[in-house]
Structure 1
């Protein structure tokens, strides 16, 4: 093992397990960082373009110039975020081969199939994104609208393809193995694996929630500063309503997923529940950590864990003691997964309450809520949604450990065993920092230009040109 690896584990309090290759830690850190960066961009490719279409449709159906102006500006933001996502996604693709040759070498024939489908959707999305951006003022109104619809549908297909690959890692199927090697693949069963449908719906709803609350927060901030014009009200209403509708649906889907995990991924469920020993009448533990096999500092809710898993207190739940020692998640993994699960549920509950508040205010007044406390909460809702999203991905990815492909491939057997990966990690950090700074600069420049233009003094597509400025009088006076 390299000295840097041993030093890191010593400082972090982790045991220097001799069975782990020295490349495992930097590979996992890099994959966690790049995936965590990229997942933030996914909602804007999937859901932000959908909201853009909602504004576009409203503008065409109702002759709403402000809605068309929103759609046009949002399309430019979507193009910038798409470019950033393309860069970060490309890096992730290379990392799969460079960092995890054990995965690609053994199971690439199955695992690579969903990514091949994702590549087709990516190119379709890129082509029609370019047509949609170029089509403002150049294409007839409705044909132009439908080019944007292709962008949204392609982004949904691409996201579903990546989720299919992730679902296959959790519940592999559709392959025939001989001596540990794939000899036959059923592509449809690989793609539509046991985890595909519920993971896909969960991710798509998360995309609408994150993009909706984040975009609405920008306009809520403007409304707090006194900009209560139709442009800002509409810019708030479209994304916030989208997120508020998706929020209760996400809770229903999440409850279903918890039972699926209980039945098919017992090790992950034991980590979610912070459960070291198998038993019934299991409590739901809020907070807390495992220390030497004992739950410490948590708040137990008696019988709730068993009731949520099987609708009855007598439901028996496997603890980590039911997992064979060789593949049992250690206490560090269990604590991280449990903490992330608590954060995910807690932040989602806050967003659900905010959505209910919005529904109540809308029901009473039939107008965009204008109270300062509501707008303050709406302003930070996007950040809360991002924390919820990242926590959910920690649950999904860390909860699978020590497996890369559950039951087939351990993570320590998937990682590369050559070279020092710490410089590679540093290069990735530098690339992502440059991309983030560049994107932030571009978005900031667009924001300043739009603020200088104003919300009503610019031309909109399919509409009349702005009124010309009054010509000066022949005498140079004011014409009086």
Structure 2
């Protein structure tokens, strides 16, 4: 394995783990605060138990997110020094503000975890809200930095020099809103379906049914509402990518030839040698409409870009299809669930409905990983789109492969530890709570 590939794999592996930890850490505080609010308003012990159980999960993912995020910060400097040398002064503002949001989140979380019976009940609840808001802002600021890599702004690039730097323009680049919106909604979808799926499984097993039913209802509402909003944010993102990164859009759709009234490809196997897509379903003129809002508009194909400037078509296309396919599956489940809540109330707690949520447990995170693959691999071969190539940013230091093996082992170990902690937390809930009486066992 050469050092360039090892550096890319290490960054990809680190991001792949961190994005799961960070999304759960961003969203779970809102679940926790919702349960806490219901406890304060209704005074039912089950909501207090859900709140305290979820607060422990929030603490676990805050810690793991902090560790994995810190590793990523070091990796930017160690693996991509040329990138940081030039880019650091330009997009450093969102990173510094993210640090501020992180500290606020840490302080608020400390107040929340140790504030039981010490603060006024509503102030205590409010500290939990601050945890959620600051965590969400932290994620948005990091995504703004990533968006700058896809849509460089806030500087003039003259003779290899970065001049007239404007950090505000860099942070609020053309891509930040669409990426931040899509990422935040995806975080709620993935976490909502995962948490709902876990509690649905416990209901099916007949363990502490009342506790898990309340938890399931909260998580399912968050996840299904977000799933219904995700196509809207996806449409905004698609139109933005079509405008700024037409090569990425062409790779997403395996769109080899420029044409007007371009069809939307569903599935299929791209053949880069013959520049065709086999076994695909095509919706006439749909790609032109998705990209521009005009059924007859021209959409650039990969034939408009030099071979050296084209993203890896097969990887990007498959990742995009996985993301959209899983997103549509969760949207379908969301529609069924809302029908159950509004008209067919007997469906909401039926075994088949719970089984569907159990099946959907990993879908959100799989879609999340696929979406980030589209974002990052679709930008290649650029680390700063149109300005700096990834190959020119990598460290000249040898032996990166060994670093990749070490960090891979660390992240796998971290994932196993987190899984064991969560499993222990679920089993502790089963021992402490008696769903038949709605009271804690003394």
Instruction: Classify the TM-score, shorter chain.
Output: over 0.9
**2 CA distance for matches of 1:228 and 1:68?**
14
The structure 1 residue matched to 2:302, chosen from 312, 317, 320, is 320
Deviation, 1:273, is 1.5
Deviation, 1:367, is 6.8
Aligned to 2:393: 414
**1 CA distance for matches of 2:24 and 2:348?**
24
Aligned to 1:391: 370
DSSP 3-state at the match of 2:260: coil
Question: Measured at CA, do residues 369 and 227 of structure 1 come closer, stay the same or move farther in structure 2, by a change above 3 Å?
Answer: farther
**2 CA distance for matches of 1:154 and 1:359?**
30
Task: Find out whether 1:354 has 2:333 as its counterpart.
Answer: yes
Task: Find out whether 1:442 has 2:441 as its counterpart.
Answer: no
Task: Find out whether 1:159 has 2:145 as its counterpart.
Answer: no
**2 CA distance for matches of 1:46 and 1:264?**
28
Question: Measured at CA, do residues 467 and 99 of structure 1 come closer, stay the same or move farther in structure 2, by a change above 3 Å?
Answer: closer
**1 CA distance for matches of 2:258 and 2:242?**
13
Tell me the TM-score normalized by structure 2.
0.95
Tell me the TM-score normalized by structure 1.
0.88
Between 1:305-314 and 1:88-97, the stretch displaced more is 305-314
**2 CA distance for matches of 1:410 and 1:60?**
54
What are the superposed Cα offsets for residues 25-60 of structure 1, whole Å, 9 maximum, x if unpaired? 001111111101111112211111101100000110
DSSP 3-state at the match of 1:305: helix
**2 CA distance for matches of 1:122 and 1:70?**
25
Question: Measured at CA, do residues 457 and 144 of structure 1 come closer, stay the same or move farther in structure 2, by a change above 3 Å?
Answer: farther
Question: Measured at CA, do residues 69 and 458 of structure 1 come closer, stay the same or move farther in structure 2, by a change above 3 Å?
Answer: farther
What are the superposed Cα offsets for residues 256-284 of structure 1, whole Å, 9 maximum, x if unpaired? 21111111111101111211221113222
Deviation, 1:213, is 0.6
**2 CA distance for matches of 1:184 and 1:97?**
23
DSSP 3-state at the match of 2:259: coil
Deviation, 1:101, is 0.8
Aligned to 1:401: 380
**1 CA distance for matches of 2:309 and 2:251?**
14
* Equivalences for residues 4-403 of structure 1 within 5 A: 5=1, 22-227=2-207, 229-286=209-266, 287-299=268-280, 300-329=282-311, 333-366=312-345, 369-403=348-382
DSSP 3-state at the match of 1:226: coil
Deviation, 1:459, is 11
Deviation, 1:125, is 0.9
For structure 1, the residue ranges without an aligned partner over 5 or more in a row are 6-21, 461-465, 469-480
**2 CA distance for matches of 1:290 and 1:345?**
21
Number of corresponding residues: 440
What are the superposed Cα offsets for residues 406-445 of structure 1, whole Å, 9 maximum, x if unpaired? 0111000111122111100011012112222222222222
**1 CA distance for matches of 2:352 and 2:330?**
15
Q: Which has the larger radius of gyration?
A: 1
Deviation, 1:366, is 4.5
Deviation, 1:240, is 0.3
Between 1:308-317 and 1:378-387, the stretch displaced more is 308-317
- Contact 1:347 1:384 survives alignment (8 Å): yes
